[in-house]
Chain A
Amino acid sequence: MPEDTTIRDDLIESIVARYDGEKGMLIPMMQDIQAELGYLPADPLRHLARRLDLPLSRLYAVATFYASFRLAPKGLHEVTLCVGTVCYLKGAGEIAEKICQEFQVAPGGTTPDGLFSYQPVNCVGACALAPVMIVDGEYHDGVTVEGAMTLLAALPSEEAGQDEQEAPT
């Protein structure tokens, strides 16, 4: 869609301007792109590489090195499971296993129906609440295997009441 591309081009330009086009600010720029678009689509990355006069391989290296970047669209909901030491000791490992099994999702991936993206992370620093699962920014403490399953199964599959559209694909 041509219209879409223009919007994205403008976005990249404004993000580059935000950091005065400084190459060292590549990571914040990529974080901003992901915050806007939900992931890092190929075209905007190419555009950014051109603008900063960096090889695309550098951007790819950065995108694949850091756990928070994603190169594929995310699901409707975002599920983060803490598998830090304390959460692990309190059963997060079993929860992680069960999520992958029940919802056919790989760590860092999205469920086949696009319902949610799943990311296990190393410690969210809320150890006193272990095990912790974060669903769409909301922290759930003392999560059990059953509790996690119930919570995830109950996620609405339609984006009710949200006025902004998700990242176009």
Chain B
Amino acid sequence: MIQASARRMTTPADLQAWRDRLVAGRSDGARRVRVCIGTGCAAKGSRKLYELFVQAAGQADAHVEAVTCVGCHGFCERGPIVVVEPGNILYQRVEEPDVPEIFRETVIGGRLVERLLYEDPGTGDKAATAEDIPFYKAQKRIVLEHNGRIDPTSIDEYIAADGYAALAKALTTMTPEETLEQVERSGLRGRGGGGFSTARKWRSCRRAPGEPKYVICNGDEGDPGAFMDRSIMEGNPHLVLEGMVIGAYAIGSSQGYIYVRNEYPLAVEHLRGAIDAARAAGLLGDNILQTGFAFDVRINRGGGAFVCGESTALMASLEGRPGEPRAKYVHTVESGLHGKPTNLNNAETWANVPAIVNHGGDWFASTGTEGSKGTKVFSLVGQVVNTGLVEVPMGITLRRIVEEIGGGVKEGGTFKAVQTGGPSGGCIPAEHLDTRVDFDELTRLGSMMGSGGMIVMDQDTCMVNVARYFLNFLREESCGKCTPCREGLAQMLHILDRITHSQGRRGDVEKLDQLAALLEGTALCALGKTAANPVLSTIRYFRDEYDAHIVDGRCPAKECRGMFRYEIDPEACKACGICLKACPVGAITGEKKVPHVIDQDTCTLCGTCLDKCPFSAVLKV
């Protein structure tokens, strides 16, 4: 096992010597076990697996170089994930009783345990390593390169993987201006939602008068259905930190803040550990690497308010106030936190910086499209076969993400839409699946890149109800400061509630359009301005569903209660009596060998019969 050797380093040469020593201490072909302890795998008991492997290694005669905890691999649905070296054998859905077998067969014996390998649901082919799994094949990993490979609680592992090399390079061979130029050449745009040019933001902050200048990492990933930043902060906290120190150098800042969501306790724990270790090693704090540059970072936990993902609200929260945004006629790069020039980027944006400095802006810009460079991490979830975190080059088509990486729609369903951009984003229908992933392309379709949530929906998802869900979310999270957002969302929700409860009226869609335009034009912050997107995009692409609800009183996806009926298919019914007994209102009649019937007047549409029927004879019509 690598020894913890954190000590204060004085020069870049020390850092290199430390790295050389760590790398020299490793032998090729050594036995290593890596257990994922990201939130997904940990929820399925992976910490216990780790302990069992440590125990097994302690008792084994053969030498096992390391058993380590690693961050998220992205393939959360298949967790817990265990990787064994040599060979990088990836085992999925590992359970406690599997540990002795993996240890005996693979770690010691070098043989595969076939039943724990990933099996392609289509072809039945087994994949021994991550590279063989379609989910990983089409990915290109820059930000997530070391996620799942290194122990996020060990600075040694980060250093051995070339960590802080970019920082040393920037501080000793580049001026702040040259560092900024590389970021400019890279074409990096903010990964948090707006897609604003990172270099432009940095430059404005650098030029703004006022001291001190602040840099902030926005880790308040509030979009439901998104967990990119969580996985990066949990799985490779030093990467975020290194990006921030480099940014601070380019901007001329001495104090940074990381604002992390309250719901991400593991991210907070790992970031805290990383900050302490970096300070102890002289990579953070006063006189970093003896270059005279000083910068320190503090962590603040969010209080559980979606609006704090908005930059001015986040800064209000950092000042100890309720997170209410302010109008941005004065930019935060000029007057942000405590009225000082403040540069805020989200966690994924910061995590891109070290690679840009290491390999150069041109290298970064060689991936992607005209207006969107590099890669983007998406959390691919919903009704798709393979769910998890994926990093893809900008410009890849939505179809490849959904079909190739995601493995298509689950359980033979049909693809209906993919929702991107979180609550402020929109739903993109099947006819636009060949669109290339790019900030401007997604905006053109009425959605947005957002922070990178990608939720796949199938034929059973009612698009009106989806719009209602997001609007309800936004109404609850609206801070209430400006009237258009506070009152406008409530009115829009009221209309959508009526439509999904078979009380829609002609003209409702037009009213929604009007209110949406009002919000877009008059709301105070970006959250309010984009809040109507889920409604607008579903009206744009799924107008027929709105009309079916309003005109025919029918929910085509059979999701809105009261807008479809339950019936029993007499052919499939085995007259077993289960639904009859389960019905809470006694609406089902029938006897032995006679198919049962639902009395529509008595039925309350609770759906119990549908859940209980073992023969799938209950239908929604």
Contact = CB atoms under 8 A, between A and B. Distances in A.
Interface of A: 23-28, 31, 58, 61-62, 65-69, 84-86, 88-89, 121-130, 132, 139-141
B304 A61 contact: no
Given A85-B469, A122-B473, A125-B39, 20 more contacts: A24-B319, A25-B320, A26-B321, A31-B262, A31-B303, A61-B322, A62-B303, A66-B304, A67-B303, A67-B304, A84-B225, A86-B382, A122-B222, A125-B261, A126-B39, A127-B76, A127-B227, A128-B79, A128-B388, A140-B43
Interface string B219-237: 0011111110010000000
A31 B317 CA distance: 13
Given A27-B317, A89-B457, A123 B40 contact: no
A128 B76 contact: yes
B394 interface: no
- Determine the interface band of chain B, counting residues with CB < 8 A from chain A: 35 or more
Contacts of A66: 302-305, 322-323
B574 interface: no
Interface string B357-396: 0000000000000000000000101110001100000000
B181 interface: no
A122 B306 contact: yes
Given A86-B225, A89-B461, A128-B40, A123 B303 contact: no
B320 A125 contact: no
A85 B322 contact: no
Contact of B226 (A62, A88, A121, A123): A123
A147 to B, nearest CB: 12
Given A27-B300, A31-B301, A122-B222, A127 B387 contact: yes
Contacts of A23: 320
Contact of A84 (B224, B318, B319, B323): B224
Contacts of B338: 24
Contact of A129 (B40, B383, B470): B40
Contacts of A58: 320-321
B513 interface: no
B317 to A, nearest CB: 6
A19 to B, nearest CB: 10
A86 B457 contact: no
Contacts of B222: 122-123
A139 B46 CA distance: 12
Nearest to A30: B303
B387 A128 contact: yes
B77 interface: yes
Contacts of A127: 76, 225-227, 379, 381, 387
A139 B39 contact: yes
A86 B305 CA distance: 19
Interface string B71-93: 00000110100000000000000
* Those 5 A-B pairs whose CB atoms lie nearest each other, nearest first: A66-B303, A139-B43, A26-B320, A84-B224, A128-B76
Contacts of B497: none
